[in-house]
Structure 1
């Protein structure tokens, strides 16, 4: 019985340590991010903390979350509001983005490696979806209308497509001050330096000329 108790205690300790290591709770009211180049400073989540005595309301403010330019080839625009835009978000574990869509506009398949996303449609009609990990690669899709909400689990590839004939707008909340974004097509076909045609052609089971054409179009 004593051995069972020891195993249980060890399991709980490891579990709590894993949770804390992933996203520790702040131990102060705030840690407003500041760009600091002096050596010897201490980073908190990759940022230096501003002297609390110098913090003001503007450190927690972002003015004018305006419509993005959707005139590009994808017909969409993402306007992030993360720790770069609001220094006061540092250590708070949240951020958001506004996504604008022209008719038939697409926010292409991408992932957020450090954050789960919850999206609410403000205007328009969106087809959204995400794909589970290997080996299932199961696709979950849903058509969303004004006021609808959908969740994209952390790290999974997902997309949004405006299937209406009018502009669409959505707001997404993310469970990280800096969730990151990896657009799949850009990562695969626009890496610097580029991934070799041999690798990509074999991975996608196509001719090298097709890979070259995709890279050129992107």
Structure 2
């Protein structure tokens, strides 16, 4: 189990990651909102509806940043002010899992609302999650969960966009299958090497 100093470092790094993750997300949406891309059609119009996007952004901000500030390492700094037990707070590992899964699910929703995985600028945010999880010391099992979740969502989105014509980009089925296999295999290779070599000297 990591020491308090190590836990605080991890929690602080997670907080910094999530802050900049949200900032990049907001910046991307702001740039998209500067004009209308006919390739996206009505999907991007709905995504850029201020109320719709503001709600999604508030969800990802509060349901991720809040729990991070409630981790034991952070809580031990401010809970005593309110007379609470210094050992109270959420598990850092549990919060990391919650934050990364919420990130993947909500950003995947935003990707679908901004043209799909082939058009939207946001897939790199999702694909960065397993690497960040490795850097923040997540277990190999949890990294595998994030990677598999991304692979399933990505594959399902490609299949549904072809079936329902979501992204407006047609092509052979083989093109989508090859894209999915190469992308997920590269992600799996990267995360596997990262997990097995992160403690190497």
* Bin for the TM-score computed over the shorter chain: under 0.3
Q: With structure 2 as the length reference, what TM-score do the two structures score?
A: 0.26
**Higher share of residues assigned strand:** 1
Q: With structure 1 as the length reference, what TM-score do the two structures score?
A: 0.25
Task: Kindly name which structure, 1 or 2, has the bigger radius of gyration based on alpha carbons.
Answer: 1
**Higher share of residues assigned helix:** 2
